[in-house]
């Protein structure tokens, strides 16, 4: 019975796509037009040109769906899982293993809910256009404000976690590497500090614009190809391909980058790593083990 319902849904879905492709010529005049924005709320002026209301609506819809979906999945988990529960558990276990391999068992379990939430939010946002409703055509991830907000969130989570794990002085230490060694004295390298700061800011920009650019480029390709082939056959297939495959890939890439940035900040000093030191006398960059490594070697 479930297979019959699945195939009926699939036939209706593609049938609806082919109907739209063959009978309705989409109005492309709105492409590139400025979105409807709210400039004032309850008598208070909204700065920075207002907010995109379509993005606000779809973002709240995505959050509501994820909350309801989570409550439904946690309601009555079965000891012998069904196919849908087994599929979801496979995805969750896969992401949990990624977190544990990247951050370690303890830190991986701690940050797993954050990593999984980011992935599900971006994935659901990218899949909204699969629902044939005009409002869902506007993906939250096609708005630079959303991707920039996600990038800033990943930035602050990583750096605040780094301060908690390493302490403030231990966190700042990274910005002054490689240290300059004169004899037995190590001096912080203040020349490299601005470069490290620019690098961290660049991560936010590249992280945000990568997702925004790829999702926007996907939409432009669909519009261009749809015009070239007169709305027949290829656009529905192309639309489903880009939304499902590219949407999942972009959600995964953004999440893995956020996880990588987090691992750089929260990794412990007792891991296998060396402190970079520039020896002035030798004129070369060397790596010296941390003090606790040397002590551990004596024991």
Domain count across the chain? 1
Asked if residue 26 belongs to a domain, the reply is no
Answer yes or no: is 270 within a domain.
yes
Phi first, then psi, for residue 167 (nearest 5°) are 85, 160
**pLDDT given for residue 280 in this prediction:** 44
The whole-number pLDDT of residue 232 equals 56
Position 284 in a domain: yes
Residue 99 lies in a domain: yes
d(C-alpha 83, C-alpha 96), whole Å: 20
The pLDDT score that the predictor gives to residue 86 is 83
Judge whether 6 lies within some domain. no
- Tell whether 32 is covered by a domain: no
57 occurs within a structural domain:
yes
Q: Say what the pLDDT of residue 194 is.
A: 86
Residue 242 CA, distance from chain mean position: 18
pLDDT tens digit at each of 299 positions of the chain = 667 887 787 777 667 656 655 555 544 444 444 555 655 555 555 555 566 777 888 899 999 999 988 887 776 777 777 777 788 888 889 999 999 999 988 999 999 999 999 999 999 999 888 777 766 777 889 888 899 999 999 999 999 999 998 888 888 887 887 777 776 777 777 788 888 889 889 999 999 999 999 988 887 777 777 666 655 555 566 677 777 888 899 999 999 999 999 998 887 544 444 445 544 445 555 554 443 343 334 44
In a domain, 279, yes or no: yes
CB 135 within 8 A of CB 259: no
How far apart, in whole angstroms, are the C-alpha atoms of residue 107 and residue 211? Answer: 26
Residues 74, 59, 138, 157, CA torsion sign: negative
CA–CA separation, 175 and 191 (whole Å): 10
User: What global pTM score does this model have?
Assistant: 0.74
Q: Are 261 and 199 in contact (CB under 8 A)?
A: no
Range of the domain at 265: 48-74+83-298
């Amino acid at each position: 019975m479930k297979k019959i319902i699945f195939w009926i849904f699939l036939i209706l879905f593609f049938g609806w796509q082919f109907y739209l492709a063959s009978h309705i010529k989409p109005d492309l005049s709105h492409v590139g037009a400025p979105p409807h924005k709210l400039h004032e709320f309850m008598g208070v002026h909204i700065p920075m040109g207002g907010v995109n209301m379509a993005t606000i609506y779809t973002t709240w819809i995505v959050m509501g769906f994820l909350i309801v979906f989570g409550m439904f999945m946690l309601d009555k988990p079965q000891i012998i899982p069904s196919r849908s529960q087994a599929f979801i558990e496979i995805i969750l276990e896969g992401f949990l293993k990624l977190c544990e391999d990247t951050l370690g068992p303890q830190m991986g379990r701690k940050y797993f809910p954050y990593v999984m939430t980011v992935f599900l939010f971006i994935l659901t946002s990218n899949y909204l256009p699969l629902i044939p409703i005009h409002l869902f055509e506007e993906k939250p991830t096609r708005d630079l404000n959303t991707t920039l907000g996600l990038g800033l969130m990943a930035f602050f989570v990583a750096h605040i976690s780094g301060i908690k794990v390493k302490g403030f002085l231990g966190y700042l230490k990274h910005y002054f590497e490689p240290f300059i060694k004169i004899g037995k004295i190590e001096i912080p390298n203040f020349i490299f500090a601005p470069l490290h700061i620019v690098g961290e800011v660049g991560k936010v920009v590249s992280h945000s614009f990568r997702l925004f650019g790829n999702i926007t480029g996907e939409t432009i390709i669909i519009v261009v190809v749809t015009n070239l082939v007169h709305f027949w056959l290829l656009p529905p297939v192309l639309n489903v391909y880009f939304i499902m495959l590219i949407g999942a890939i972009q959600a995964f890439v953004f999440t893995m980058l956020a996880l990588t940035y987090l691992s750089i900040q929260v990794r412990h000093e007792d891991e296998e790593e060396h402190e970079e030191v520039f020896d002035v006398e030798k004129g070369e960059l060397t790596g010296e083990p941390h003090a606790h490594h040397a002590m551990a070697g004596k024991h």
